[in-house]
Chain A
Amino acid sequence: MSTVASETDVTASETTGPGPGRPQRRSGRRSRKSRAGVHLWDATALTRIALIATIALMAFPLYWMVVVASRDASAATTFPPPLTPGSNLGANVDTALNDDASNLVKGLVNSFIVSGTVAFSVVVISTLAGFAFAKLRFRGSTVLLAIILLTMTVPLQQIGIVPLYLMMVELGWVNTLQAVILPFLVNGFGIFLMRQYTIQAVPDDLVEAARIDGASTIRIYWNVVLPAVRPGIAVLGLLTFMQNWNEFLWPLIALSPDNPTVQVAIQQLTTGNYSADYSMIFTGTLLSIVPLVVIFVAFGKQIVGGIMEGGVKA
């Protein structure tokens, strides 16, 4: 991950700004300037407090999820609302996992398979095309890239649900996992991200040298490009996994509650049960985010770097 992360870290550090003015700002010049411009760069106490308050506000719904999930069914209907976790989590997990209407366990497993397969395939497709757009010259490359950009603006799975469904009926794939995998392999963002990454991470000399040694394009991809863009692959893979973990509309159409993805399963927790046991429902939602929390905790730094990278390229 070194490259993305360290690059963003460098740009992030307070001494950003290329050129000679940099060292001076740290010492003498800064104090002279401070009257006019200092608050542009120095965080005031107010900024700090506002930031922390914002983050607390962002974390609160998740905390609330934990509070309700760890109490009994009355937690969500008590006034004033309880603000500390209870001790009922284990029992609630048991109930949620064994809930007949939602098939939560199957949903979790299915979502792992679907999101993992999509992430892997998107990485393969995107590294191949990203390499071509970054390092190879071919007629029409600009036009093809522009077409990909255009296709990114079409929300296919929302607009095309009717024909996609008819297609799955025709193929006999309704309620199968391939029905919710294949349409999501069309991912233009990945190609852009990998193109950007390849431009930066693969020196042209290396490609040229490999050519002179007689390496074929696919060998260059395998031996030169892939090792160099590994950090970018990690970011794209993680983002794609998280994005597909969250897909809802199309899985809701293409699958039935007996073979759901995780989003369909937790939707079933609420609509499939007549009595709204909020602690059980919230436990389901909590279980549905565990893999994302794990990814976020383990690779947060890389994800921040990846988002920053992806935004700037646009």
Chain B
Amino acid sequence: MSQTRRVAPEVVGAQPVAGPHRSRLSRARSFVDLKVSPYLLVSPYFILFAIFGAFPLGFTLWVSLHDWQLAGDKEYVGLEHYEFLLGNERFRTTVVNTLGMFVVATVPQLLLALMLANALNKRLRGRLFLRLGVLIPMVTSVVAVAIVFSQLYGTEYGMINWLLEKVGVDPIDWRASSTASWVAISSMVDWRWTGYNAIIYLAAMQAIPRGLYEAAIIDGASSRQQFWHITVPQLKPVILFTVFISTIGGLTLFAEPLMFGSGRFDGGTTGQYQTVAMYIVQAFRERNNYGLAAAAAWLLFVIIIVVALANYLVVNRIREAK
């Protein structure tokens, strides 16, 4: 969209028209200005990224190949940490937990967001109020959400078990099994982000040409068919965007499971809700094993790239299949 609005190159990048009053010096200066300034303007980001982004990433790899203590010797151990992690059942559990919670949280979240956006896209009174309403969770801070939900999911006095009891379901020990804890933690993530994603979808829905729907109506398409065959395919780029954002957020999940387990890094007695991010911090903080933490971080990075690519392929396939 932006491309079409982009300026014709001759206009903007043009040399200033040099009037007779202009000296050669000022012309030379403005030539340098035109050539150099753009790079100066974008340089702060790249400098900061080099220091706080690229360097730490590369250095993580370096640290991961060592037995690294804050003080003392740094002994090169090659791929030992990686071998340990890949063969370690606890680490594999955290990977499964992270991926599991990512799926359990993201799939319903994005589907709900789509439905919510579809509802918000209709003729409604109090439009701004409703939009603000679905964004209410934005005002909570992440640890606050986690604390409140953890209380609601309390086994003995939690309101959710109380409600379940009302409808005749036995109380659930939300922290005991991985399934229950995944659901509980995913609900925190969904509560916080569904409305946000809905607003993003809503913006994209409004950009879909109405002519497409009018043609479909003439062809006798039901509103459900219109939703799946026009709205969803048209939203593909935005869906990709939200899947991407959710992937990064979901695979680095930390605050919610941490507070769910009363602030402990181990994520339950057998790590039933420990995420990779928690494992990294635990290795770093509690075991002071910087090499191991770095190796786990690098593996998490690889997982994020793989999942992001997989998402991309899946979303593309869905579009083609249609």
Is the A/B pair a real complex? yes
Chain B residues near A148 (CB-CB < 8 A): 45
A312-B235 Cα distance, complex, nearest whole Å: 10
Name the residue among A131, A154, A166, A311 with the largest chain B CB count within 10 angstroms. Answer: A311
Can you name the residue of chain B whose Cβ is closest to the Cβ of A185? B48
Can you name the residue of chain A whose Cβ is closest to the Cβ of B52? A183
**Which listed residue, B217, B242, B301, touches A33 by the CB 8 Å rule?**
B217
CB <8 Å contact, A182 and B63? no
CB <8 Å contact, A42 and B123? yes
Give residues of chain A (165-191) contacting chain B, Cβ–Cβ below 8 Å. 165-167, 169, 182-183, 185-186, 188, 191
B14-22, B85-93, B172-180: which one contacts chain A?
B14-22
Shortest distance from the beta carbon of A66 to any chain B beta carbon, whole Å:
10
Binary B-proximity of A261-293 (CB < 8 A = 1, otherwise 0): 011001100110000001001100110110011
Give residues of chain B (234-271) contacting chain A, Cβ–Cβ below 8 Å. 237-238, 241-242, 244, 248, 251-252, 254-255, 258-259, 262-263
Chain B residues near A14 (CB-CB < 8 A): 123
**Which listed residue, A17, A68, A221, A248, touches B255 by the CB 8 Å rule?**
A248
Chain B residues near A163 (CB-CB < 8 A): 55-57, 59-60, 63, 294
CB <8 Å contact, B128 and A162? no
Number of A-B contacts (CB under 8 A): 349
CB <8 Å contact, A242 and B144? no
Interface SS, A side: helix
CB <8 Å contact, B41 and A78? no
CB <8 Å contact, B41 and A8? no
Can you name the residue of chain A whose Cβ is closest to the Cβ of B213? A40
Give residues of chain A (123-178) contacting chain B, Cβ–Cβ below 8 Å. 124-125, 128-129, 131-133, 135-138, 141, 144, 148, 151, 153-156, 158-167, 169
A207-B8 Cα distance, complex, nearest whole Å: 13
Chain B residues near A309 (CB-CB < 8 A): 203
Verify if A223 is at the interface (C-beta below 8 Å from B): no
**Which listed residue, A21, A132, A200, A285, touches B144 by the CB 8 Å rule?**
A285
CB <8 Å contact, A77 and B237? no
Known A42-B123, A214-B22, A311-B238; contact A162-B60, beta-carbon cutoff 8 A: yes
B100-108, B134-142, B313-321: which one contacts chain A?
B134-142
A18-B138 Cα distance, complex, nearest whole Å: 32
Verify if B297 is at the interface (C-beta below 8 Å from A): yes
Known A136-B41, A159-B297, A288-B143; contact A312-B207, beta-carbon cutoff 8 A: yes
CB <8 Å contact, A78 and B70? no
CB <8 Å contact, A204 and B12? yes
CB <8 Å contact, A61 and B152? yes
Chain B residues near A169 (CB-CB < 8 A): 70
Verify if B147 is at the interface (C-beta below 8 Å from A): yes
A266-B142 Cα distance, complex, nearest whole Å: 10
CB <8 Å contact, B139 and A296? yes
Shortest distance from the beta carbon of A231 to any chain B beta carbon, whole Å:
16
Chain B residues near A249 (CB-CB < 8 A): 252, 254-255, 277, 281
A253-B130 Cα distance, complex, nearest whole Å: 38
A242-B144 Cα distance, complex, nearest whole Å: 14
Verify if A98 is at the interface (C-beta below 8 Å from B): no
> Looking at chain A, what size class is its interface with the partner chain?
35 or more
CB <8 Å contact, B122 and A271? no
Known A129-B42, A289-B139; contact A61-B149, beta-carbon cutoff 8 A: yes
Name the residue among A12, A19, A159 with the largest chain B CB count within 10 angstroms. Answer: A159
CB <8 Å contact, B139 and A62? yes
Give residues of chain B (121-137) contacting chain A, Cβ–Cβ below 8 Å. 122-124, 127-128, 130-137
Verify if A80 is at the interface (C-beta below 8 Å from B): yes
Chain B residues near A52 (CB-CB < 8 A): 133
Give residues of chain A (107-131) contacting chain B, Cβ–Cβ below 8 Å. 124-125, 128-129, 131
Shortest distance from the beta carbon of B205 to any chain A beta carbon, whole Å:
10
A160-B119 Cα distance, complex, nearest whole Å: 41
A106-B40 Cα distance, complex, nearest whole Å: 37
Chain A residues near B46 (CB-CB < 8 A): 144
Known A159-B60, A311-B203; contact A144-B123, beta-carbon cutoff 8 A: no
Chain A residues near B207 (CB-CB < 8 A): 11, 312
A154-B59 Cα distance, complex, nearest whole Å: 15
Chain B residues near A278 (CB-CB < 8 A): 151
Name the residue among A77, A162, A204 with the largest chain B CB count within 10 angstroms. Answer: A162
Binary A-proximity of B279-322 (CB < 8 A = 1, otherwise 0): 01100110000100110011011001000100000000000000
CB <8 Å contact, A307 and B130? no
A214-B258 Cα distance, complex, nearest whole Å: 58
A194-B133 Cα distance, complex, nearest whole Å: 26
CB <8 Å contact, B300 and A262? no
CB <8 Å contact, A138 and B141? no
Verify if B162 is at the interface (C-beta below 8 Å from A): yes
Chain A residues near B157 (CB-CB < 8 A): 76-79, 81
Verify if A94 is at the interface (C-beta below 8 Å from B): no
**Which listed residue, A36, A76, A162, A292, touches B140 by the CB 8 Å rule?**
A292
Q: Can you sample 10 A-B contacts with CB below 8 Å?
A: A19-B211, A133-B42, A137-B9, A151-B49, A160-B56, A166-B59, A221-B41, A292-B140, A307-B203, A312-B200
17 extra A-B contacts, CB within 8 A, seeds A40-B223, A41-B123, A204-B11: A43-B119, A76-B157, A158-B297, A160-B53, A161-B293, A166-B70, A183-B52, A186-B49, A199-B6, A208-B14, A263-B143, A282-B148, A289-B144, A303-B135, A311-B200, A312-B200, A312-B207
Q: Which 4 A-B pairs have the closest CB atoms?
A: A160-B56, A311-B200, A137-B13, A308-B203
